[in-house]
Structure 1
C-alpha cells in the first residue's frame, strides 16, 4: 500500500485517531487533520514518524482545498485514495433553547465540512488512472442519532441525518467512476466527546438498552472503517452501516 494515502479528518483524537492508527497499522500512508495544528502534529507523531498532521477548520469555506494541497506536498504527491470524514462536534440542547449560532456551527462542521472535503478529494481521485487505484473509497462518520433522533439533540440529529442523503447521492454520482462512498453510523462510543455530554445515569440507561450491554470502543468503529476503505469491500457502496451494539434494533 506504499502508493495509497488515507486522509482522516478529525484524526487527532477519539474515533478519528483510532481509525488513523488502524489504517497505518494496515500499511496505509496516513494524513490526519485537527482544528489545532500542534495537536494534529502531536497525534500524527504518536501514530508514526511519517504520518502527516495538518490543521483543518471544517466550517471554513475553501479550507478543504488548502488542506488537500498541504497533504499532497507533504506526501510527495502521493494520491489520496481513501478519505474518512471523521471530524465532528456536538452541542446538545432542547428545541426551545437552541441557539442559532450553535445550529449553524453544527451544520457547517458535521454536514457542510464533509461535503466540501469530499469534493476536494474526489476531484483528485477523478484525475487518477484506474487499475491499481480502482479501490478508491470515501467513508463518512454519521451517528445513530441521525437516523433515530434523540431528545435534546435535534440540531445534532439534523446535521447527521443530512449525511444519509449526501452518501446516497455521491455513491450514485461517483460510482460509475469506480469511487465508493459509504456512511458509518456509530452508536454511543466511549470517547471524550460522548463522556463529556452524558451523565452517569444516561450512560447506564444506554448500556441497559444495548443488546451487547456495553458502550462501544473507538477501535470497534476503526475496524469497520478500515474494511470499507480496503479493496476487500470493492462491491460495497451507498450503504449506511450502523455499529451500535444492538442499541437501535
Structure 2
C-alpha cells in the first residue's frame, strides 16, 4: 500500500509510533524513524523493518528544537530524495488532579513538544512537499481528551486541540497542491505514557466508561494512521478518526 513512499515518523521508538513504523515497513514504505532518547528501541524497529525487505534509517532529533527538525527533514531528503508522508506522533502527556497542580515549567515543556514540535515538522515537510509537486499526506496524533477534557488534563487537551486546528488549516490551504492532512485521536491505549498516568483504580474506572470495556492496542491506532497515509483515503482531508473503543460516544 505504501510502495515507493518515504515516511517520517516522529517518536518512532516506542508505543504508537513503533507500531506505525512496523506497519509502514510491512507495506513497503521507506521509513525514517525519529527518536529523542529511545535509540536502542528505534534501532530494534529499524532491524525489524529491514527484515521485512523495506528500507529504514534512524535519526535522533528533539522535535521541540527547530534545528533538530530541520536536520531530520534534510537527512530524509538526502537519504531518499523526497518525503511523501509525515506522522506527527511524538508528544508528551500531562495529567494532574486539577490544572492548578501544573507548574509553569511543565506547561511550557508540554506546549513546546506537542504544539511547537508539530508546527515545526509540519511546516518543514510542507515546504518540501510543495517543492516536489507530488502531493503528500500528513497525519497527526491527537487524543480523545480533546472531546472529553477534564480539569486535570486540560493543558494536555489544549495542546492536542491546537494540533487539530493546525491540521484542519493546512488541509484547507494546501489541498490544491495534493497535500492531505488528517488526525487520529486515540483513547486510552496500552503505552508506557498512558501506564505512567493511570493508577490501577483509575484504569478500572475509565475501562467502565469505554463501550468495548478495554484499553486500545497501539496496533489498532496504527491501522487508522495507515488509512490516512495511504491512497485508501485519497479523497479525505481535514478529518479525524477516534480510535477509542467508543468512549467519545458519550
TM-score of the alignment, normalized to the shorter chain, above 0.5: yes
Contact 1:37 1:53 in 2 (8 A): no
Contact 1:18 1:219 in 2 (8 A): yes
1:138-165, Cα deviation, whole Å (9 max, x unpaired): 0000001123213411211111111121
Q: Is 1:152 matched with 2:157?
A: no
Contact 2:22 2:48 in 1 (8 A): no
TM-score of the aligned structures, taking structure 2 as reference length: 0.92
Q: Is 1:35 matched with 2:36?
A: yes
1:53-94, Cα deviation, whole Å (9 max, x unpaired): 11110111332111111222233x2x1101100001112222
**Match in the other structure for 1:72:** 77
Contact 1:41 1:54 in 2 (8 A): no
**Match in the other structure for 2:94:** 91
Alpha-carbon distance in 2 for matches of 1:48, 1:216: 27
Structure 1: runs of 5+ lacking an equivalent: none
1:25-69, Cα deviation, whole Å (9 max, x unpaired): 011111110102733334322332631111110111332111111
Alpha-carbon distance in 2 for matches of 1:73, 1:149: 41
SS at match of 1:138: strand
Structure 2: runs of 5+ lacking an equivalent: none
* Count of aligned pairs between the two proteins: 243
SS at match of 2:184: strand
How much is the aligned-residue C-alpha RMSD, in angstroms? 1.5
Structure 1 stretch displaced more, 66-75 or 186-195: 66-75
